Amino acid sequence: MLTVKTAELYKVTGDGNALKQHDRPEIVFAGKSNVGKSSLINSLLNRKSLARTSQTPGKTRTVNYYLVNGSFFFVDLPGYGYASVGRKDKSLLGKIADEYLKTTDRICLILLLMDSRHTPGKNDIQMYEWVCSNGYEPCVIATKSDKLNRSEFERSKKEFIKTMGMKPENLIMYSSLTGDGRDETLGLIDRSLKG
C-alpha cells in the first residue's frame, strides 16, 4: 500500500490550463462544493490542514496541485453545483474543470466525491457521465460515511451503484473522521500509479 512520506502545496492556478512541463502522474479529485474534498485530501496525506477546509461551500475556485512523495500530484478541482454560488461563477468553475481535463495528459485516476448521505444529484450524474465520455473510469468516493448507521450505510452503497450504473468495486465508502476507506483508497491510488 502507498505510504505518504512528504506532501506540499506545489501550485495554485486560477484557470484550468494543466501544469506544463512535468512528467508526474496526476490523481484528480472532483466533486460538489461542501462534499469534503479538502478533508479527504488531508486524511489521505495524514495532514491536518494542508488542504484548506472551509465552512463556506464553493470556496475552492482554483486548481490546486499537491506534490506527494516528490513523485506525483493530487489535483484538487474547483467544487461544482453549490446553490449559493452565482450562475456566472458556476459557469466559470465548470469551465476551469473542463479546461483542465481537456489539457492534461497525465491523469492516472479520477476520484469523484459524493456525499454518502444523499442520492447522487443531477450534477453528480452529469460529472460522472462526462468523465466516462472522456475515456476515464472514475472511482466514486462516498464521503461522510461515519454519519450513517449500519442500515443507512448499506442502503447508500446500493443506491450509489444503482443510480450511477457503476461497478461495485468502483465505490469506496469513506470517513475522513474515522479513516474508514483510507487504506482502500490509498491502495487504489498505488495500483493506479503502478498501472
Looking at residue 139, its pLDDT comes to 97
Residue 48: the pLDDT is 87
pTM of the model: 0.89
Query: What domains, with CATH codes, occur in the chain?
Result: 7-16+23-194 (3.40.50.300)
Please report the pLDDT score of residue 54 as a whole number.
54
Q: What is the mean pLDDT of each run of 10 residues along the chain (195 residues)?
A: 94 81 91 89 93 58 91 90 44 68 90 95 86 90 97 97 94 97 97 92
In this predicted structure, what is the pLDDT of residue 20?
A: 77
CB 94 within 8 A of CB 80: yes
Alpha helices by DSSP H, listed for the chain, are 37-45, 87-103, 122-133, 150-164, 182-194
At residue 92, the pLDDT reads 46
pLDDT of residue 53: 67
DSSP calls for 98-155: HHHHHH---EEEEEEEEETTS---HHHHHHHHHHHHTT--PEEEEE-GGGS-HHHHHH
